[in-house]
Structure 1
Amino acid sequence: MVMIKACLNGNRRPGEHPALPLTPLQLAEAAREVHEAGAAAVHIHPRDEAGRESLSAVHIGAAVGAVRRAVPGLPVGVSTGLWITGGDVRTRTEAVRGWDSLSTDERPDFASVNLSEPGFPHLWKDLQRLGVEVEAGVWSVADAEALAGAGLECVRVLVEIIGGDARTAVPRAHAVLHRLDDLAVPGPRLLHGEHAPAWVLVDEAGRLGLSTRIGLEDVLQGPDGEPVDGNAHLVRLARARPALGG
């Protein structure tokens, strides 16, 4: 069965969807619901008290710890997107190194690192020193080549098709996947898209036997444009897709 990771909130603004989870308790409840719906892992963007994305240890620890208490054993991952620190590499580095103060239960199992962002090799090594596994965020052929050149090990390669036309999403994804294979980049692949390509690439991942992800970070509607109740509804819709064995 294809592994589905649920991406619960992303960088969406408060109010973009009525069920968008922002607080630790909301993230914990959403994680419990998606796990019951069939998700094998969750990816979250912890927030501060004002609802803004944060890499601060206090906010990372509160969100991860709440999810762990609600769903023991469910792998929990976070973003390290550079936009979270306003594009400041040094601020991101200091924030992530601050996770050293977190207990094991408060540290994420994995964190995504975007190959298109400056400073990724040092961030990668900092995460590994913390015992946090790295998901490599590969958005393009150039990112695939950067990953191969870096020679860094990751728990999985996220082939992420961000925006664009759904009609070109599959060729774009295959160009990245083929380049990863040509360069013999190790690690399992997870294929997903954001916005228009999201459902097209859930189906393509199923056809290819690759892991995928779905959630309010990636899309706010079902495969036919229908409204959804929240993250668990999206996971159930994904599980029901014929390409995923539904």
Structure 2
Amino acid sequence: MRRGPLVSLNGSRSAADGAAVPVSPEELAESALAAVAAGAGEVLVHPRTPCGRESLSPRVVGPALEALRAAGLGVPLAVAASIGSESDPAARLARVRSWTVLPDRAAVDFAEPGAGVLAEALLGRGVAVDAVVRLGGPAGPDPLARFLAWPVREPRRVRLTAELAAADPGLVAGLRGLPPVEVVLYGREAAAWPVLRLAARCGTGVRTGVGDVLRLPDGRPARSNAELVAAATAASR
């Protein structure tokens, strides 16, 4: 039986984006607990310093994960290991290697330099990898090609997380021939709900949360991650 949606608790957003965006470890734990109660099967977080800056420092990642686990969520926890937290690939790699508290998974953006090396380092530490790619957007570096060029030696511990610019079945068809890895689809803002419904039809995993979209399918502002998860679960049936 497929697990519930992956919920992106905060993404690149800050408290300035509204009360629905959790920032502190306590807010993340409260939001995650409600989202799991609403049906979320996994949690993705962008840890932040007290001043709101994204960070991969063990002094930031550790407390966030500890607060989430102390809440008794009972679902896998993922951390975004992205350029938003550390722009230098070597420094990002060093940060990940210095973690003292490990997530279950980490999201690695294959549009960013050093993604393959970072993913290998995470796998070496026992952390599963979500390989993030974007499909259908502006021309530029092809993250899917980078992913395909990366030797997936442990397919059970690697997942492809694809952001679709639009709910285009052709984009999903282009994923045929991938290594035997699980696939999660998501969209952002106006694309979020059409892509989620497409993912449900295709039988892939789905992702939602205020990190991706701030409005419900009917256009109303979402009051919480839990509200988005409940709507996603209903739309996936």
Whether TM-score is above 0.5 comes out as yes
Contact persistence 2:5–2:205 (CA under 8 A):
yes
In 2, distance between residues paired with 1:21 and 1:109? Answer: 20
* Residue among 213, 221, 230 paired with 1:227: 221
In 1, distance between residues paired with 2:198 and 2:151? Answer: 28
* Residue among 96, 108, 114 paired with 1:113: 108
The SS at the match of 1:170 is: coil
Partner residue, 1:193: 187
Give CA deviations for 1:208-246 in whole Å, capped at 9, x if unaligned: 1111011000011101211221100111111122xx11x
In 2, distance between residues paired with 1:232 and 1:40? Answer: 12
* Residue among 142, 157, 161 paired with 2:160: 157
The SS at the match of 2:85 is: helix
Give CA deviations for 1:72-106 in whole Å, capped at 9, x if unaligned: 42110010111221x2112211111111xx1xxx3
Counting only pairs closer than 5 Å after superposition, residues 74-153 of structure 1 correspond to structure 2 as 74-85=75-86, 87-99=87-99, 102=100, 106-140=101-135, 142-152=142-152, 153=154
The SS at the match of 2:78 is: strand
The SS at the match of 1:134 is: strand
In 2, distance between residues paired with 1:69 and 1:6? Answer: 18
User: Residue type matched to 1:170 in 2?
Assistant: A
Q: Quickly say closer, same or farther: Cα 1:226–1:119, change in 2 above 3 A.
A: same
CA RMSD after TM alignment? 1.6
User: Residue type matched to 1:77 in 2?
Assistant: A
Which segment drifts farther, 148-157 or 194-203? 148-157
Partner residue, 1:174: 170
Instruction: Give unmatched runs, 5+ long, in structure 1.
Output: 163-168
Contact persistence 2:130–2:161 (CA under 8 A):
yes
TM-score of the two chains, using structure 1 as the length reference: 0.88
Contact persistence 2:54–2:84 (CA under 8 A):
no
TM-score of the two chains, using structure 2 as the length reference: 0.91
- Specify which structure has the higher proportion of helix: 1
The SS at the match of 2:187 is: strand
Contact persistence 1:42–1:74 (CA under 8 A):
yes
User: How far did residue 192 of structure 1 move?
Assistant: 0.3
* 1:215 corresponds to 2:212: no
Task: List, as ranges, runs of 4+ consecutive aligned residues in structure 1 with deviation greater than 6 Å.
Answer: none
User: Residue type matched to 1:125 in 2?
Assistant: E
User: Residue type matched to 2:130 in 1?
Assistant: E
Contact persistence 2:33–2:73 (CA under 8 A):
no
In 2, distance between residues paired with 1:150 and 1:231? Answer: 33
